[in-house]
Amino acid sequence: MLYIGVVEIPGSDDHEGYVAGLSADGAYSDIWTDVRHALGPELLAYAPACECGWHGRPHPSDPGGFRAATRDWLVEHFAELDPVRPVLAALGRPLCPETDFLTAPPPARTLAV
Ligand SMILES: [Zn+2]
């Protein structure tokens, strides 16, 4: 999730959020991997992550866990950044994932042939 809100936030480009997959070997997937399309070993959990290196607590590797990890990145990391707090105070509302951020679309369903 990349911030694209109406009020510029200095440094926000350094905090692009994503949902990382946690493998059995303890490794997290990178920002380029959409865990909803993950191939290879099964992921044990989803975790909020940021390109700055921050990781949050894990959630189940299912659609609810994906939504929870996305929310955690926004609420527990991005909204707590020093340059973001005054913007939130001026806006008078929480940031909205659908309108304030550029997000990857949900995976398309595979059509049976
Ligand atoms: Zn960050």
112 CA to centre of ligand 1 in angstroms: 39
Range of the domain at 63: 2-102
Does 85 fall in a domain? yes
User: In the predicted model, what is the mean pLDDT of residues 20-34?
Assistant: 93
Q: What is the pTM of this model?
A: 0.87
- Residue 77 has a pLDDT of 97
Does 113 fall in a domain? no
17 CA to centre of ligand 1 in angstroms: 7
Using a CB cutoff of 5 Å, list residues around ligand 1, an ion: 15, 50, 52, 54
Does the pLDDT value for residue 111 go beyond 70? Answer: no
Domains of the chain: total: 1
- Residue 80 has a pLDDT of 95
113 CA to centre of ligand 1 in angstroms: 42
Strands 2-3 and 101-102: antiparallel
Does 112 fall in a domain? no
Q: pLDDT digit string (tens) for 44-72?
A: 999 999 999 999 999 999 999 999 999 99
Does 96 fall in a domain? yes
